[in-house]
Amino acid sequence: MKHFSTFLVLFFLIGCSSSVTPVDNGLEKQIFHFGNGSEPQGIDPHIVTGVPEHHILISLCEGLTIPNAFDDENLPGAAESWSVSDDGKIYIFKLRKNGRWSNGDPVTADDFVWSWQRILTPSLGAQYPDMLYYLVNAEKYYVSQDLPNVIAGLLEFIIKDEELSNYHSEASSYFEPDSLEDGSYVLLNNSNLNNILKLLENVHSDYELRKVIVTDDNDEKFIKPKDDLIKNIKKWNIKKLFNDINFDDVGVKALDNNTLQVTLSNPTPFFTGLLSHYSTWPVHKETVLKHGSIDDRNGEWTRPGNFVCNGAFNLKSWELNNKIVVEKNPMYWDASTVRLNEIHYYPVSNVMTEDRMFRAGQLHVTSTLPSQKCPVYIEENNPDLRIDPYMGTYFYRLNTNNSYLRDVKVRKALAYSIDRKLLVEKVTKCGQIPAYSFTPPGSNGYEPTTSIPYDPELAKQLLVEAGFDSENSFPKLEILFNTNEDHRKVALAIQQMWQKNLGIEVELVNQDWKVYLSREMVGDFQVSRAGWIGDYDDPNTFLDLMRPNRGNNKTGWEDGSYDTLVAKANSTNNQVERYQLLNEAEKMLIDNMPIIPLYTYVRSYQLSPDVKGYNPHILDHHHPKFIYLERD
């Protein structure tokens, strides 16, 4: 009777009005109109990083597990079940026999093996290969595969440095002669690793003997990568330049078409949660290779008409900066549960525009809420307002490769001159909590014990100790942020605090989402707005981010002791001991301050009462097969 009455209401609206809103029309046709904040970077699950991308990918592809709309424990996804060995290191996943790619091909264990090899291929440039480093030999494989690229880059640097002309001949001897002519710099297959390492050490020693001033360029392009290279070679006992380890040695195996065995280096209590993150999802091998190579980043396979994946929806259309449409996938193993016919994703970066679209009946859900509207909607008891707990931290990244930000005293001065309480009460104004740690308090029972004082006098003193005073003023700083009015407001507040408390001139640099991500990835920033939402419900999803060689670290900061602490924490099943170790790591991170935590997120947005099955979730994960539209 409810469906019948809804139809009559819609019939009346269509008959009596010249324009029916998308929300009303969507009710009849089961089309979900979704405010997605920004134009996505892409939809290749092994390349992208970001919340807008996640919202789309969760409809198109599916991992071994999926988020649970009603509980913290993940549900079976592409795997119908799994078992874990007594020592917590071996997982056996049973894949669904009715699992299908959107073109009808069966989803097999080999698809996961190939996909995981793909994300562990360095030349792909994935930002999340570390999600699989928990597997036996996964990190060693990645490092060994990247070894020729790193060495080629270092030798190329030597050849192009005129001051190192004494080494040009030897450095050139390791390349294919033709590649020196065309600038591709391809290493000879028979190059001896030990001889190359001796050359690199000699060059470094020569810098020191000649007391050459180590410029940022030399440091970033030669010395630091060379030191990291030596460190990794020793850590993984790598003996050969090429193919020191094969992918067959990595801890993932297809035992048969429907059985996947995963072997971990240590017990990892959050592993099944991690598997619902898109970086671990499978891609269709034949489709990827039809449109390029395993490491092709051009993304032709992700275009409408080409895209094949295994999720509840198919990619129907993509109008750049306008709308992405996905439609129900009849091949999905659980298609009978899916009630939505389409989802329309709108990249509305202007929060006021998105608010107006929602109130005009053009959106069922918004990506966020204008900060100035939140207290108004709270006072008005707006029935569409939602403020949910959210496991995320809003913070600023500091580029520690910058000559001024390399000094921890400068970084602490910047952090100590920010009034976080004022920021959340007067700027964000929607229940956000001042952040004094990177990991949000309460993350799966974890309570960080760090503190970050608001102490302008101490901040000034630290800046003086770093060598900056009235006679030697600190140079102008840039804050990079992606297009969003609320990001601009936060940046304006920080700009004023740094100017008032430290006398530092600050320039605000606004970029669209794709350019912003690109600049962060290559280190083209001084201070950058950032937000990190947990990929799974465990403090490790924050603290692991800041380990060396993590694609989303992006600060240039690394600390061997910090890395050891996090690794040690993740090798124990004792949660009390584990959280103590993670707390030590958190203190070390805050003491070094490569990031400046500002506040803990809440998920503030507007939701149409027509939307059912969209339950609050600490990670804001909403599998679309549980969502439908119905008017009360």
Tally the domains of the chain.
Answer: 3
7 within a domain of the structure (yes/no): no
Distance CA 245, CA 253 (A): 16
Q: Is the domain of 583 the same as that of 614? A: no
Q: Is the domain of 117 the same as that of 166? A: no
Q: Is the domain of 473 the same as that of 324? A: no
Distance CA 94, CA 96 (A): 7
Distance CA 445, CA 467 (A): 42
DSSP 3-state helix, strand, coil percentages of the chain (rounded to 5)?
40, 15, 40
Output the pLDDT for position 70: 78
Distance CA 416, CA 454 (A): 5
Mean predicted confidence (pLDDT) in 539-552: 94
Least confident of 18-22, 456-460, 504-508: 18-22
List, for residues 211-249, the tens digit of each pLDDT value. 554 555 566 778 888 998 999 999 999 999 998 899 999
List, for residues 276-298, the tens digit of each pLDDT value. 999 999 999 999 999 999 999 98
Output the pLDDT for position 163: 86
Residue 18 has pLDDT above 80, yes or no: no
Residue 13 has pLDDT above 50, yes or no: no
Nearest to 102 by CA among 380, 301, 313: 313
Distance CA 14, CA 344 (A): 21
Please give the residue range of the domain that contains residue 296. 22-124+254-366+607-629
Look at residue 217 and give its three-state secondary structure.
Answer: helix
246 within a domain of the structure (yes/no): no
Contacts of 444 (CB under 8 A, 6+ apart): 537, 538, 539
Q: What are phi and psi of 256, to 5 degrees?
A: -160, -175
105 within a domain of the structure (yes/no): yes
Residue 624 has pLDDT above 60, yes or no: yes
String of DSSP letters for 348-368: ---HHHHHHHHHTTS-SB-S-
Q: Is the domain of 394 the same as that of 361? A: no
Nearest to 575 by CA among 445, 481, 449, 439: 445
Q: What percent of the chain has pLDDT over 70?
A: 95
- Going by DSSP bridges, is the β-strand pair 79-84/477-482 parallel, antiparallel, or unpaired? unpaired
Last residue of a domain, one of 236, 267, 294: 236
Output the pLDDT for position 3: 40
- Going by DSSP bridges, is the β-strand pair 385-398/527-533 parallel, antiparallel, or unpaired? antiparallel
Q: Is the domain of 224 the same as that of 258? A: no
129 within a domain of the structure (yes/no): no
Give the CA radius of gyration of the chain: 26
Which two tokens mark 482? 């992606």
Name residue 368's amino acid. T
List, for residues 166-178, the tens digit of each pLDDT value. 999 999 999 999 9
Q: Which residue has the higher pLDDT, 454 or 551?
A: 454
Least confident of 17-31, 378-392, 549-563: 17-31
Q: Is the domain of 443 the same as that of 537? A: yes
CATH number at residue 448: 3.10.105.10
Answer whether 275's CB lies under 8 Å from 63's CB. yes
Q: 137's torsion region: left (phi>0), alpha (psi -120 to 50) or beta?
A: left
Least confident of 132-136, 528-532, 615-619: 615-619
**H or E stretch at 301:** none
Answer whether 282's CB lies under 8 Å from 79's CB. no
- Going by DSSP bridges, is the β-strand pair 385-398/595-606 parallel, antiparallel, or unpaired? antiparallel
Distance CA 143, CA 236 (A): 8
Residue 11 has pLDDT above 70, yes or no: no
Residue 100 has pLDDT above 60, yes or no: yes
Q: Is the domain of 445 the same as that of 545? A: yes
Residue 4 has pLDDT above 50, yes or no: no
Q: Is the domain of 39 the same as that of 158? A: no
Distance CA 197, CA 206 (A): 14
382 within a domain of the structure (yes/no): no
Residue 382 has pLDDT above 70, yes or no: yes
Answer whether 475's CB lies under 8 Å from 466's CB. no
Which two tokens mark 551? 């694609």
564 within a domain of the structure (yes/no): yes
Residue 10 has pLDDT above 90, yes or no: no
Which two tokens mark 190? 């028979």
Q: Is the domain of 317 the same as that of 395? A: no
112 within a domain of the structure (yes/no): yes
Name residue 149's amino acid. N
Nearest to 294 by CA among 90, 60, 69, 115: 115
374 within a domain of the structure (yes/no): no
Nearest to 112 by CA among 40, 45, 42, 43: 45
Q: Is the domain of 294 the same as that of 414? A: no
Residue in the block written with tokens 């991308």: 53
Which two tokens mark 610? 């027509």
pTM of the model: 0.89
The total of other beta-carbon atoms located within 10 Å of residue 389's CB is: 16
Residue 431 has pLDDT above 60, yes or no: yes
Residue in the block written with tokens 């030999």: 137
Q: Is the domain of 448 the same as that of 591? A: yes
The total of other beta-carbon atoms located within 10 Å of residue 197's CB is: 16
Answer whether 430's CB lies under 8 Å from 369's CB. yes
Answer whether 60's CB lies under 8 Å from 71's CB. no
Q: Is the domain of 568 the same as that of 471? A: yes
CATH number at residue 53: 3.40.190.10
